[in-house]
Every structure is written in C-alpha cells, then in structure tokens.
Amino acid sequence: MTDSWATFGADLHLDLSTGRGLRAGLTEALREAARSGRLAAGTRLPSSRSLAVDLGIARNTVAEAYAELVAEGWLTARQGSGTRVAERARPRRSGGVAGAGGAAAVVGVRRPARGKPSYSLQPGSPDLGGFPRAAWLTAARRALTNAPNEAFGYAVDARGRIELREALAGYLARARGVYADPERIVLCAGFVHGLTLLAGVLRARRVREVAVEGYGLDIHRDLLVKAGLRTRPLGVDGDGARTRELGAGAAGVGAGVGAVLLTPAHQFPTGVALTPARRAAAVDWARTTGGLILEDDYDGEFRYDRQPVGALQGLDPDRVVYLGTASKSLAPGLRMGWMVVPPGLVEEVLAVKGLIDWTSSALEQLTLAEFITSGAYDRHVRGMRLRYRRRRDELVAAVAGRVGVSGIAAGLHAVLDLPEGMTERSVIQSAAWQDLTLDGLSRHRHPEADLPPRAAVVVGYGTPSDSAWAPTLAALSAVLP
C-alpha cells in the first residue's frame, strides 16, 4: 500500500531559494533539511509518486532528486524499506527537530522570493515587443506636421478629435460591421474607463442590476459593484453566454436587470463565440425591455480559421453600446479606447464624462487617426494575426495528447482542459516551480454563477515576447503530464 504523505507527522517546509531549477531546488532543499536535522536520521520519506502528487511536479523529478541524494550519502534506499534519511555524523541544528519518533513530512513548499517570474502565460496582454515603433513614428511625424494649431490647445469636444472619430467610423464599419457615425463615437482611455462612464449612465437611469457572463474579468465586475450596481451571472457553455436567461422566468436573472455585458466575438475566458440564436435572444431582450447591451469587442480582429464574426452592434445599433480599444491590437500603454453609442445615449455619456476631454492626448489621437487612414493599422493587424496564429498552432502541437484545447481559433489566449486526476492548483503550483505564471479558469468565475466544475487553465500565448516564447512554451510543457 502506498504511504500517504499526510501520515508522516509534523510539517516541514522546504526553502528552495538555493536551488537552480526544479530538480536542483528540490535536491538542495532536501539536502539542507537532512543536514540541519529537520529531517532526522532514519526518517522514512514518502514514495516518489506520493511526493510528486502532493507537490504538483513530475514523478521523475522527485526520483532523480532522491537518486542524487542517495549517491551523495544523505539518503538510503533499500528494497522493502523505502527511502530514508541516512545515519550520519551529528548534524548542526538550525531549527526544531522532527516530532515524536523523528518522523517529519514535507506538505508545503515555500517558493523563493524572486520578484517577477521569468515566464508568463497570463492572459490579457499582447506581445508588447510587436508594437510597430517605426510605423507609429512615421504616423506621429505626419500627424504632428499636419496638426492644426488648435489641436495644441484645450480640447473643446468631449467626444475626442474628429479626425480619429472619422477614421474609426470607416474602419469599424469595414472591419467589424459596426454602424458608426462619427457623431456617436466617444473616445476614452480604454475599456475600463468606458465601462466606468457607462456605469455612471446606468446609475443615472436608476438601473440597479447588470447581467454579466458567468466567466469574466473580476476587475469589470468589481467596477460595476463599486458604482452601486449588482452583477447577475449568466450561464456560459459551448455556445457562449446563455442569453435566454435574461428573461424573468424561473431560469432567468430577473426583471430588475437593465443592461448586460457580453463578449460575443470571443468569450473571455472560455474562448467560444456567441451563436446567432443567442445573439438574437440578447437583442430581443433589449428591444422588449428597453435594456442595453454593452459589447466588449476586445480582440475581435484576431480570428484564425475563418473571417472574423461581425460585431453584435450591427444587429441593433440603437440597443447596443460597442466598446473597442487599441490595447490588444497595438498596446495597452496607449490608453486608447472608443465607444459607439446609441443616438439617445450620447448626451448622457458626455454628461458623465464632462465637457472637456482630459483623458487622451490630442497628438496621440491624431497619430492613431493617421495610422488607420494610411493603412498601417490594417497591415499591423494582419502581421500580428499571423504571429498569434503561429503561436496558437505551436501551443496546440506542444500539448497534443496531454490536455484538451477548447475555444475557437481566435484571440490571444486558449483554455487547456486538464485530464482527470489533475487540478488547477497542482498545475499552477508546478508552473511556479518552473518560474512560470498561469491563470486557473476558476479565477474568472463569478462567485454566484451556477456552472459545472471544470479543471482548466487559461494560457495567454500573446503575452511572451518572440525571444521568450520558446522557453515559455518549454516551461509549460514541463508542467503538463
């Protein structure tokens, strides 16, 4: 019968700060525990299988660490007796010895404090190294040369520069199927700023509840809550958000909901697209109740297996607020976003925003306008689309046969569904040993959502730079079975 690590007595935490890499760190930590007496002579260690499961690492890693310590004389291994701490000269004591009988256990591992991890696959960020510096500089020079004198003064239109609003109207109509009159576009400093403005509008309209997807970003939910709005979760499955739950029936979220926040083109984080039937159900609800749909089109340009699905706003521009940004296509540091607002909502948004546009530099707005109208934006998006598609293909190939990859071929992240017996916690812990950060799917789950349990991790393959991509993928591969 396999020994359980939980039966080995008092806890003993291992300090891995002296190790270099996963196996070396474990080897040195065990060596130091034996040297200092925290693992007393004769203590029987757990099997390599048990320790690997408890620490969330590969069994071979534990077996190799044990073998090295046996070769050095710190451990002994005998058939039928297991692996034990060897009898050695009296150790120097740097801490408390094991409890009764000298038995001790390693049930937790203290990660060395290294600051920022070497590798990251957290979702939500593009490859910042892909920012088109030369093309942006060219656009900035042209924008600066052609800028009217009044552009250097105080902004007089809270909607933002007309040059950028006109450029966006043409681009969004052509690329995303959005009905976008420049007079209905309001520029903002990104999605969070736009959502903040809309939360203020909803409060002014005496809306008290907003429906959100059962999986989504907690920062968006928290923003709504801080604005005094309750969030009500919709179920999410392979067809996207279950928008029929917007009704007030037995399975619905209730009649008090005045708006719904959706990611129709590429649901975050599950990676599915909202089906036509569910798009229609959302629009029908908005028309019937007078509610608003807030459409977060955060990475709608990046579809790899087919033409990108058009924006939901095209079905009913009078009931849908379209929100987009340059954060994924260019860089979040630009702090550039936009809303396409229904005609009756423009003045309400401006009343919340204020009469002067304090949020975005006029020169940055003019540069982005030039970048779009010159065709440089389209060229950049096409280039990044190829780059991210290649990364997604390499990710799928690297994990093939070990974990499932769910969601459509789109965007900057994918969901890896873990096989039976693996948990999010063990994978994330094992990733930390590889100096890699990962997000579990459960992190993005609404606390009130009625969703089936699902063990999965969200991999942001857009985050690493080109030079870091190969070692980051290798670190991920080392984590998976």
Contact status, residue 198 vs residue 225, Cβ threshold 8 Å: no
- pLDDT computed for residue 19 by the predictor: 45
For the chain, first and last CA: distance in Å?
24
- pLDDT computed for residue 113 by the predictor: 45
The more confidently predicted of residues 272 and 110 is: 272
- pLDDT computed for residue 43 by the predictor: 83
The more confidently predicted of residues 435 and 101 is: 435
- pLDDT computed for residue 354 by the predictor: 84
Task: Determine the Cα–Cα distance for residues 105 and 6; give it in Å rounded to an integer.
Answer: 7
Q: pLDDT band for 73, please (50, 70, 90 cuts).
A: confident
pTM of the model: 0.76
- pLDDT computed for residue 15 by the predictor: 54
Domains belonging to the chain, first-starting first, are 5-110 (1.10.10.10), 119-128+381-479 (3.90.1150.10), 131-378 (3.40.640.10)
- pLDDT computed for residue 33 by the predictor: 78
* Rounded average pLDDT over 285-289: 94
Scored b (16 or more CB within 10 A) or e, 220-229 reads bbebbeeeeb
Contact status, residue 419 vs residue 402, Cβ threshold 8 Å: yes
The more confidently predicted of residues 267 and 156 is: 267
Q: pLDDT band for 27, please (50, 70, 90 cuts).
A: confident
pLDDT(99) > 80:
no
Partners of residue 233 on adjacent β-strands: 212
pLDDT(52) > 70:
yes
pLDDT(397) > 90:
yes
Q: Tens digit of pLDDT for each residue in 102-139?
A: 333 333 344 444 556 789 999 989 999 999 999 999 99
**Of 82-91, 118-127, 222-231, 347-356, which has the strongest mean pLDDT?**
222-231
Contact status, residue 266 vs residue 410, Cβ threshold 8 Å: yes
Task: Determine the Cα–Cα distance for residues 61 and 203; give it in Å rounded to an integer.
Answer: 56
- pLDDT computed for residue 81 by the predictor: 72
Q: pLDDT band for 251, please (50, 70, 90 cuts).
A: low
The more confidently predicted of residues 78 and 251 is: 78
